Amino acid sequence: MERIPEPELMDEPKQARAYAGADFSEPHRAFVERFAQCFPRHRSRRVLDLGCGAADITIRFARAHPGCDLTGVDGAPAMLALAKEAITRVELDHRVHLREVRLPDKTLVQHAFDTLISNSLLHHLADPQVLWCTLKDCAAPGAALFVMDLRRPDTREQAGRLVQEYSGNEPEVLRRDFFNSLLAAYRPEEIAAQLARINLSCLQVEAAGDRHVVVYGLL
């Protein structure tokens, strides 16, 4: 099945609220746990979270790494408003800082981050190289990079079954977006080719579960 792009931003208030209210506890918990497995000895101090959305993973990562400061970046004001509420609610304002940024953005590369994470941003971007170049440019020497995204299934029917299995009880807007995101996602071999074009073949690309792909390594 050929890739079908979708909009870069999720900025409709109804769409943002549906996403923030959905139960992503299983994949988001797995994100933080998989990072720890990939980098058992890495100490995160300055963390960049690209495409932080409503900040659920940002908050989970901050709690798992109490010695770090995080910068959460997103291009959707509606998402950032919900992220701000969530961060304030759990009293992490002193360690988690939000920025409205639409990639590419040269101001980000003025900071060297020792940890770079991103979840479900890649498939939204019209040009996937924007993500990889931004991460590369923002990284301090030896930085840990961990990216998780959806993996495009072979057929639309398989995509529909995944939506029903994992979002069957969610609002219609979320089921629609999940389906479209699956169609817009990249396959591991496509991501490997993207990385090779900018000399990032040092990173590992692996399928994870039945719908995700992870990219990780030291820069």
This prediction's pTM: 0.93
Range in 20-34, 59-73, 90-104, 188-202 the model is least confident about: 20-34
41 assigned to some structural domain: yes
183 assigned to some structural domain: yes
94 assigned to some structural domain: yes
Whether residue 89 contacts residue 116, with contact meaning beta carbons closer than 8 Å, is answered with no
Residue 218: CB atoms within 10 Å? 14
Residue 170: CB atoms within 10 Å? 18
174 assigned to some structural domain: yes
Q: Tokens standing for 163?
A: 């939506």
- What is the domain count for the chain? 1
Residue 16, pLDDT > 90, answer: no
pLDDT band at 11 (very low <50, low <70, confident <90, very high): low
201 assigned to some structural domain: yes
Residue 10, pLDDT > 90, answer: no
User: What pLDDT shows up at residue 111?
Assistant: 76
Angle at 49 between CA 22 and CA 27, to 5 degrees: 35
The whole domain housing 65 covers 13-218
Q: Tokens standing for 195?
A: 């990385």
Residue 54, pLDDT > 90, answer: yes
User: What pLDDT shows up at residue 201?
Assistant: 96
Nearest alpha-carbon partner for 212 in 178, 187, 175: 187
Q: Which residues pair with 147 in a beta bridge?
A: 118, 215
Percent of the chain's residues with pLDDT above 90: 82
139 assigned to some structural domain: yes
88 assigned to some structural domain: yes
CA distance 187 to 205: 10
The CATH number of residue 21's host domain is 3.40.50.150
Residue 132: CB atoms within 10 Å? 22
2 assigned to some structural domain: no
Nearest alpha-carbon partner for 143 in 202, 59, 72: 202
Average pLDDT in the 178-182 region?
A: 95
